[in-house]
Amino acid sequence: MSERTFRIYRGMQQQGEIVAYRVEISEGMVVLDALHDIQEQQAPDLAVRWNCKAGKCGSCSAEVNGMPRLTCMTRIDELPADQPITVTPMQAFPVIKDLVTDVSSNYAANKSIPAFKPRSPDAPDGSWRFYQYEVDRAQEFKKCIECFLCQDVCHVLRSHGKHEEFIGPAFLVRVAAYETHPIDVEDRSTYVKEHGGIGYCNITKCCTEVCPEHITITDNAIIPLKERVVDRHYDPLRRLIQMVRRTG
């Protein structure tokens, strides 16, 4: 057993401070365990979100030593042993209290996406026929756990606060899930361009780096969507290039 120091943001949006706590560390402990320990032993009003404690629900997001992480999947023994561990709330969202942030903008973004619309059924019993490779393609995006870590790291939201104009990488992933869905027929290209604000993304790939589900957000979701938008919205030069590429 050893002790470690945790430096944790305590307070509200306007007013807060970093408070240090000492925690006994046992084998295999994750950052969320330490937060719970602090709650139980030292600060019962420390606000933290969590549910599954197994990387499945995306509730426990925060910044650990400045990196957006799921606190339930961050092993303490993986963090530099010679420094205190700093835990702060996701910076891209307003703080409600301590490590809990107001993530309602994400729910608004999700709601704005045109709903799933299936093609008519393939079989007389009203069901569909499609193949595992098609499921796998969409599952890359459907496995998103809505932890909002990618939203947190994206400079368009984090530094420029464009929550109204840009749905962010998480919801471009959601759109990609629909777009690759084997039986969905809705066209979301105008939506992605106009409401979704996909143009704000300048492909820095920071989102891909932090995704705990290892979704290749930029390359597999955003870039193909950008191409779709361009295709659809008739950029003559782009079309020409594509035609040349296709025929050449």
Which residues make up the interface to another protein (CB under 8 A)? 12, 26-30, 33, 39-40, 44-59, 73, 75, 96-98, 100, 102-103, 107, 110-111, 115-116, 118, 121, 125-132, 134-135, 138-139, 142-143, 145-146, 178, 181-182, 184
Number of residues that bind ligand SF4 (CB under 6 A): 29
In this complex, which beta carbon is closest to ligand SF4, that of residue 127 or of residue 202? Answer: 202
Instruction: Give me the 69-88 binding string for ligand FES, x by CB under 6 A, dash otherwise.
Output: -x-x----------------
Angle in degrees, 0-180, between the axes of helices 223-232 and 236-247, rounded to the nearest 10:
110
Is residue 117 involved in binding ligand FES (CB under 6 A)? no
In this complex, which beta carbon is closest to ligand SF4, that of residue 8 or of residue 221? Answer: 221
Q: 4 and 79 in contact (C-beta within 8 Å)?
A: no
- Selected range binding ligand FES among 44-52, 104-112, 130-138, 152-160, rule: CB under 6 A: 44-52
User: At closest approach, how far in Å is the CB of 246 from another protein?
Assistant: 29
Is residue 56 involved in binding ligand FES (CB under 6 A)? yes
Measure the CA–CA gap between 191 and 176, rounded to whole angstroms: 12
Is residue 140 involved in binding ligand SF4 (CB under 6 A)? no
Give me the residues that bind ligand SF4 (CB under 6 A), please: 58, 144-150, 153-154, 156, 169-170, 173, 201-207, 210-213, 215, 217-218, 222
